[in-house]
Structure 1
Amino acid sequence: MLKELESCRARIEALRFSGERQSCSQHKKFAVDAQRIRDSLFSQELSISSAVTPTLDESVLNVSHRLEIPRACIHVFVFPGPDLNAQCLLGTDGECIVRFSSALIDLLSPKEFEFVLGHEIAHFLLRHYRTEFFGQPHSIESLMHDRAMEISADRIGLVASGAIDVAIRALIKTASGLNDRHLRFDVSSFMRQMDKIEGTDTRAAESTHPSILIRCRALIWFSLNEDFYTGNLQFSSKNLIQIDKRIEEDLQRFIDGPAKQKIANAERDVAMWMRAKTIVAKGTFTKDEQSKFKDEFGDQMLVKMTTFLKGLSKSESIDTVEAKLNESLSYLSTLSPTASRAWRS
């Protein structure tokens, strides 16, 4: 079964959104007592099975078939709750544990349930539950990475459900909490909401999930890929590159642009104080060095740096610049641990 599962993972890997930044150093294998978790869920929650929940179990089988993942690897539980919630729990490489709130189950049709289930299973298949960013789980960098992971998981959810209209309906329902009685699924009208966005939503940059509109657009582009209609997991890398580029443009425009600029500004500050450290170590700020500093950091910063250094003795300037450099590196670390590590190395 493990061999079959790894084959499935290899096929799914090809669909991963390129916006995910992959690095072995960013992954950590957590020690988890999967049996204890599973036993606790079996004792306290409802396990989806053909005997007790036949319709839901049929949906699990459908997802298993479309993703070519062994059914025995998937454990799905339902817990009582008014919130719309689904989560993939930490398990092992050989088993996927997914939980759904009863409210979410009641809201979704069986086909929509398949999309959400496929999305959660994707986190397992792509090993998203092992990702952490050097002890900075809420850095700008980690949030961008989290949003990219959701784009990847949505793709697998779409493959699992087999229909773009089903996936869009599931996303709209989970975003609004409204059921079929209140919704008329005019997708084009819904997507036109993006035309009303005039700037960047700063709150969106603080979320682990992209907006529903961005997720829907990403799925629509993915569904227009001719490979989607073949019914298998073999997608042209060339086509995916074009799709990923469009998604990156959306993320850049509506969420990630200002976040990336904030990181770039912080890196510029680090570079400036590193240059200043070199200058004070030499003890002179020559005309040639001033010209280079101006070209890199601008007239205004040159004036500020010259004034700053004139007011300090050599020993004071060395200590002060070192402190400023450490401060700028520390701030960069809160935004982008990866960039901070690169500057420190």
Structure 2
Amino acid sequence: HEVSHFYYQHSLYPNPDKARNRIEYLNFLHLSRAAEISADRVGFIGSGNIENSLRSMLKISSGLGDEHINFNFSSYLDQLRELKEIKGDQSQLFSTHPTFLNRMQALIWFSMSHEYHEFFETDKKGIYDLKTVDKKIDESIKKVTGGEIDISNKEIVDKALLWGALWIYLADKKFSKEEQEKFSKRFGDKATVSIKSLLNISKMPVIEKKVMEAYTNASTLLKSEKEKIIKKLKEIYSEADEHNNKSKE
């Protein structure tokens, strides 16, 4: 487990204590929890035994030795089923490590993956692909930490897309009727009316400031969320560029 932290260079991950705001702090903690899941997997692969791996994880997390641990595999499986009933825990949202039950669940699912059985060339094919396992783990952790990260990230992504799209449409200093219709289709009538009102009373530096604020906030997101923004804005740019070329013809 610890060797994998070194191998994957997890020490280079951003330090949550150096975050610029709350959402960046929460995203850095989310990244830290993901690093622990990755390290657990490598430790499991190294040991080759799921029960021994889980016992070792319990020893490390509790600080107790074998003589003080009565590890009942079936009992912990029962507790995993109870995870479905656990609601958001504010304290876990600020934790660098997932709960032990989350980590145990993650390791069991990983042991049931196609990729795991392919790697060890077992007689089994596995139940899930790794992408499905990762999604299940993410959902499992969210049942404990709550949905604040997703809600905050979505708000930042939505604003970045809105202001980014507007900036693309305003490249020619105009917000044509057709562009307004496309904008409304993407972001809704209410947002379009608000933007038109702002354009009527504001000069371009004000709009530029709004765009920069949106992208400063977007810089606090993790790479996967930033890639979503870039992909969508590329689509909007291509669409706008195609329209402009047709207009010139």
Settle same-fold status: TM greater than 0.5: yes
* 1:82-93 to 2 correspondences below 5 Å: none
- Matched residues in 2 for 1:201 and 1:135: separation? 19
Q: Which residue of 1 aligns with 2:153?
A: 263
- Matched residues in 1 for 2:149 and 2:60: separation? 26
Task: Report the AA paired with residue 222 of structure 1.
Answer: F
Q: Conserved in 1, the CA contact under 8 Å of 2:55 and 2:71?
A: no
Q: Which residue of 1 aligns with 2:13?
A: 132
User: Per-residue deviation at 1:203?
Assistant: 4.3
User: Per-residue deviation at 1:188?
Assistant: 2.2
SS, match of residue 219 in structure 2: helix
Task: Report the AA paired with residue 125 of structure 1.
Answer: Y
SS, match of residue 334 in structure 1: coil
- Matched residues in 1 for 2:224 and 2:117: separation? 38
Task: Report the AA paired with residue 306 of structure 1.
Answer: K
Task: Report the AA paired with residue 251 of structure 1.
Answer: D
Q: Which residue of 2 aligns with 1:250?
A: 137
Q: Which residue of 2 aligns with 1:170?
A: 56
Higher relative contact order (CA 8 A, sep 6+): 2
Q: Which residue of 2 aligns with 1:220?
A: 108
Task: Report the AA paired with residue 122 of structure 1.
Answer: S
User: Per-residue deviation at 1:272?
Assistant: 1.4
- Matched residues in 2 for 1:229 and 1:297: separation? 45
Task: Report the AA paired with residue 53 of structure 2.
Answer: A
**Higher radius of gyration, 1 or 2:** 1
Q: Conserved in 2, the CA contact under 8 Å of 1:147 and 1:209?
A: yes
User: Per-residue deviation at 1:133?
Assistant: 5.2
SS, match of residue 120 in structure 2: coil
Identity of aligned residues (%): 27
Task: Report the AA paired with residue 195 of structure 1.
Answer: K
Q: Conserved in 2, the CA contact under 8 Å of 1:290 and 1:302?
A: yes
Higher helix share: 2
SS, match of residue 210 in structure 1: coil
User: Per-residue deviation at 1:298?
Assistant: 1.0
- Matched residues in 2 for 1:227 and 1:276: separation? 43
User: Per-residue deviation at 1:323?
Assistant: 0.5
Q: Note closer, same or farther for the CA distance 1:311–1:247 as it changes in structure 2 (3 Å cut).
A: same
* 1:132-151 to 2 correspondences below 5 Å: 132=13, 138=19, 139=24, 140-151=26-37
Q: CA RMSD in A?
A: 3.9
Q: Note closer, same or farther for the CA distance 1:176–1:289 as it changes in structure 2 (3 Å cut).
A: same
Q: Note closer, same or farther for the CA distance 1:296–1:254 as it changes in structure 2 (3 Å cut).
A: same
* 1:34-53 to 2 correspondences below 5 Å: none
Q: Which residue of 2 aligns with 1:273?
A: 163
* 1:66-77 to 2 correspondences below 5 Å: none
The range that moved more, 206-215 or 251-260, is 251-260
Q: Note closer, same or farther for the CA distance 1:134–1:329 as it changes in structure 2 (3 Å cut).
A: farther
- Matched residues in 2 for 1:250 and 1:134: separation? 23
| Equivalent of 1:207 in 79, 95, 112 | 95
Aligned pair count?
218
Higher strand share: 1
Q: Conserved in 1, the CA contact under 8 Å of 2:115 and 2:130?
A: no
Q: Conserved in 2, the CA contact under 8 Å of 1:146 and 1:208?
A: yes
Q: Note closer, same or farther for the CA distance 1:177–1:134 as it changes in structure 2 (3 Å cut).
A: closer
TM-score (norm 1): 0.51
- Matched residues in 1 for 2:117 and 2:185: separation? 53
User: Per-residue deviation at 1:251?
Assistant: 0.9
- Matched residues in 2 for 1:134 and 1:182: separation? 33
Q: Conserved in 1, the CA contact under 8 Å of 2:112 and 2:127?
A: no
The reply on whether 1:320 has 2:206 as its aligned counterpart is yes
- Matched residues in 1 for 2:135 and 2:7: separation? 23
The reply on whether 1:295 has 2:185 as its aligned counterpart is yes
Q: Conserved in 2, the CA contact under 8 Å of 1:136 and 1:334?
A: no
Q: Conserved in 1, the CA contact under 8 Å of 2:50 and 2:111?
A: yes
Task: Report the AA paired with residue 285 of structure 1.
Answer: F
Task: Report the AA paired with residue 223 of structure 1.
Answer: S
- Matched residues in 2 for 1:340 and 1:226: separation? 29
Q: Which residue of 2 aligns with 1:47?
A: none
Q: Note closer, same or farther for the CA distance 1:145–1:298 as it changes in structure 2 (3 Å cut).
A: same
Q: Which residue of 2 aligns with 1:192?
A: 81
User: Per-residue deviation at 1:164?
Assistant: 2.1
Gaps of 5+ in 2: 235-249
- Matched residues in 1 for 2:166 and 2:5: separation? 45
